[in-house]
């Protein structure tokens, strides 16, 4: 490609609404252009990256045996009503009416449509297994779109859906996709980690996320440096400590803690470690009235160590707590006789269900709220001062916790989720009556899996992982161009022009994706553009070097240029591309 026939458009400054580095750099490099909140045009430079990402995904999906189709962007509401997601999906689902007033949605994902296809196309066990995928525009009406392509509203996703006759088949299809994802993310040239993810209502290790590692990542990834263990924060189990609870040594004492409503403040006042205090979290579960029972309300008290953080997903899995909400201050006063800040499990005003985190269950002589403003108890002990609680893992793990596989201690990294594989089981096929006939002619529900990759999000994630103060540093496999050829005086020097053209053709003939910058920019501006855009390999052709038969090569991460003989440059570049 010649730059004069392409569209290169860079900016000195990022627009003020760009908050993170990938968003800023993509705007400055002319890769995307904002059309509206969370809606971007992929400009020519950005689209080239997207196409390279798509091609890698497509090749590996096809290699895995998945079959590509293309499901519509605009989908009838009826299918979404069958699964109940028309009601449940909430405001993120973009709803639209046609000229006849019929309801449609703009697809955020395609489980309903693919299950509808399956129930007519996959009627016999002989048709199974099948894995359908498409690479298609999605829309999710995010409450607060931001971070450019990282949390946009319109985006491109690869979503695949496997159909199997039984759970064993589903597990094989799942593993097949897991393996394909590993190949895909390896080919991108990104540092990534697959992690076990929360699997919702389905048992087993039925879900994994794939994260690109980046210091700016939204998600915490938990892993064990001395083993294979890796999970996202939602799914990482906090084990029971290996030291069992010590015997009480202090008496229960009501202690004045005026104005100290936070564990940190209490610990400071009393001059005790934070990890001897208890944090109280109050949750409400409401049940609607039915014919046989009136509406009811339960209030739960969750106890965490003062320095720990509640894991809301784990809490939601406690039998009876599903669908909880945080209690209102009014409810807290009603049940505890005091507003938040001085709550505890001892002497509540009305009965509440107490759940202690595993760590809390092992504590003795702890400090907790006294259910009276400006007072805490010290020297509290389970069994002696209050009943033994229900004990459940309800906290986020922290660095240094034991790894759940028993093979070391946990560390934490930041990651950006770019892929997710999930065993759906029969949730959709049963809701939509998608069955196949087995060998005996008996209808059986299809076992489904779904597998997503955020195509456009990968651009943001790749940049968050690979940039410097000059701009983006694309991995070669997904760079808009592999090599940029920068002639010094293309319009002035015949020798430069001739050798540049020759090298350009030779690189193209060697299958190298090269752009020749024939725009006539000054060297400084030209170099700055391509460093900002992030083309990973640069070759400079100049009169001075040519006199000695030399060209200059510089990799985007190299601190210095390398002189390479003219005749060897093609081989040199190819070697660098393959390294």
> Which residues lie near a copy of itself (CB under 8 A)?
5-7, 9, 33, 35-36, 39-44, 47, 50, 65, 67-76, 91-92, 94-96, 98-99, 104, 106, 113, 116-117, 120-121, 130, 132, 137, 139, 141, 143, 153-154
Q: How far is the CB of 522 from a copy of itself (least distance, A)?
A: 15
Interacting residues of 229 by C-beta distance below 8 A, sequence separation 6+: 222, 223, 403, 404, 405, 407, 408, 410
Q: CB-wise, 47 or 272, nearer to a copy of itself?
A: 47
449 close to 170: Cβ distance less than 8 angstroms: yes
Q: CB-wise, 7 or 293, nearer to a copy of itself?
A: 7
Q: CB-wise, 92 or 405, nearer to a copy of itself?
A: 92
Q: How far is the CB of 504 from a copy of itself (least distance, A)?
A: 17
Q: How far is the CB of 562 from a copy of itself (least distance, A)?
A: 32
Q: CB-wise, 51 or 364, nearer to a copy of itself?
A: 51
Q: CB-wise, 159 or 393, nearer to a copy of itself?
A: 159
Angle between helices 44-63 and 167-188 (to 10 degrees): 140
Q: How far is the CB of 160 from a copy of itself (least distance, A)?
A: 13
CA distances from 354 to 281, 325, 335 (A): 10, 16, 13
Q: CB-wise, 120 or 271, nearer to a copy of itself?
A: 120
Q: How far is the CB of 96 from a copy of itself (least distance, A)?
A: 4
How far is 135 from 455, CA to CA, in rounded Å?
A: 8
Interacting residues of 228 by C-beta distance below 8 A, sequence separation 6+: 405
Direct distance between the N- and C-terminal alpha carbons of the chain, in angstroms, rounded to an integer = 23
Q: How far is the CB of 106 from a copy of itself (least distance, A)?
A: 7
Q: CB-wise, 210 or 428, nearer to a copy of itself?
A: 428
Q: How far is the CB of 549 from a copy of itself (least distance, A)?
A: 34
SS (H, E, C) 349-405: CCCCEEEEEHHHHCCCCEEEEEEECCEEEEEECECCCECCCEEECCECCCCCCECCC
The H or E element that residue 265 is part of is helix 263-270
Q: What is the DSSP string of 288-351?
A: ---SSS--EEEEEEEEEETT--B-HHHHHTSTTTTT-EEPPHHHHHHHHSS-TTS--SSS-SS-
Q: CB-wise, 154 or 417, nearer to a copy of itself?
A: 154
> What are the two backbone dihedrals, phi and then psi, of residue 303, each rounded to the nearest 5 degrees?
-110, 125
Q: CB-wise, 114 or 573, nearer to a copy of itself?
A: 114
> What are the two backbone dihedrals, phi and then psi, of residue 325, each rounded to the nearest 5 degrees?
-135, 160
Q: CB-wise, 324 or 504, nearer to a copy of itself?
A: 504
How far is 574 from 277, CA to CA, in rounded Å?
A: 62
Q: How far is the CB of 259 from a copy of itself (least distance, A)?
A: 41
Q: How far is the CB of 432 from a copy of itself (least distance, A)?
A: 14
159 close to 451: Cβ distance less than 8 angstroms: yes
Q: How far is the CB of 481 from a copy of itself (least distance, A)?
A: 14
User: Left, alpha or beta for 471 (phi > 0: left; psi -120 to 50: alpha)?
Assistant: left
Pairing of strands 192-196, 207-213: antiparallel
């Amino acid at each position: 490609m010649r730059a004069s026939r392409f569209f290169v458009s860079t900016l000195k400054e990022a627009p003020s609404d760009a908050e993170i580095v990938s968003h800023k750099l993509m705007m400055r490099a002319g890769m995307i252009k904002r059309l509206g909140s969370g809606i971007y045009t992929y400009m020519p430079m950005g689209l080239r990256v997207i196409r390279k990402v798509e091609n890698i995904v497509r090749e590996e999906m096809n290699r895995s045996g998945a079959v590509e189709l293309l499901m519509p962007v605009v989908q009838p509401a009826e299918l979404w009503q069958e699964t109940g997601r028309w009601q449940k999906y909430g405001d993120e689902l973009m709803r639209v009416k046609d000229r006849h007033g019929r309801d449609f949605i703009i697809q955020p994902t395609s489980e309903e449509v693919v299950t509808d296809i399956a129930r007519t196309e996959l009627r016999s066990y002989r048709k199974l297994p099948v894995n359908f995928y498409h690479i298609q525009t999605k829309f999710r009406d995010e409450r607060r779109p931001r971070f450019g392509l990282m949390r946009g509203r319109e985006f491109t996703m690869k979503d695949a859906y496997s159909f199997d006759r039984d759970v064993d088949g589903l597990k094989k299809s799942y593993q097949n996709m897991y393996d394909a994802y590993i190949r895909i993310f390896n080919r991108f040239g990104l540092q990534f980690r697959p992690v076990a993810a929360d699997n919702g209502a389905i048992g087993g290790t039925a879900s994994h996320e794939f994260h690109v590692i980046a210091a700016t990542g939204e998600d915490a990834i938990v892993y064990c440096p001395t083993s294979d263990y890796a999970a996202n924060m939602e799914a990482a189990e906090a084990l029971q400590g290996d030291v069992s609870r010590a015997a009480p040594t202090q008496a229960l004492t009501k202690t004045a803690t005026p104005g100290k409503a936070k564990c940190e403040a209490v610990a400071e006042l009393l001059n005790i470690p934070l990890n001897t205090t208890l944090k109280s979290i109050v949750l409400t579960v409401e049940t609607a009235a039915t014919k046989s029972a009136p509406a009811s309300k339960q209030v739960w008290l969750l106890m965490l160590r003062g320095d720990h953080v509640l894991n809301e997903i784990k809490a939601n899995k406690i039998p009876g707590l599903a669908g909880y909400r945080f209690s209102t201050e009014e409810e807290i006063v009603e049940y505890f006789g005091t507003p938040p800040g001085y709550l505890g499990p001892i002497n509540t005003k009305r009965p509440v269900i107490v759940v202690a985190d595993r760590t809390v269950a092992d504590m003795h002589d702890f400090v907790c709220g006294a259910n009276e403003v400006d007072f805490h108890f010290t020297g509290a002990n389970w069994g002696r001062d209050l009943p033994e609680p229900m004990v459940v893992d309800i906290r986020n793990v922290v660095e240094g916790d034991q790894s759940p596989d028993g093979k070391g201690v946990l560390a934490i990294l930041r990651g950006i989720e770019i892929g997710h594989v999930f065993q759906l089981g029969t949730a959709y096929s049963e809701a939509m009556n998608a069955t196949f006939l087995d060998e005996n002619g008996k209808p059986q529900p299809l076992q489904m899996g779904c597998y997503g990759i955020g195509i456009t999000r990968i651009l943001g994630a790749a940049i968050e992982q690979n940039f410097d103060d000059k701009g983006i540093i694309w991995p070669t496999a997904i760079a808009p161009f592999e090599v940029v050829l920068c002639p010094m005086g293309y319009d002035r020097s015949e020798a430069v022009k001739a050798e540049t053209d020759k090298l350009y053709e030779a690189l193209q003939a060697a299958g190298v994706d090269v752009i020749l910058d024939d725009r006539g920019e000054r060297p400084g501006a030209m170099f700055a553009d391509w460093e900002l855009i992030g083309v990973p390999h640069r070759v400079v052709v100049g009169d001075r070097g040519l006199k000695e038969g030399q060209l200059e090569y510089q990799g985007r991460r190299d601190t210095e240029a390398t002189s390479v003989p003219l005749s060897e440059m093609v081989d040199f570049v190819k070697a660098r591309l393959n390294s």
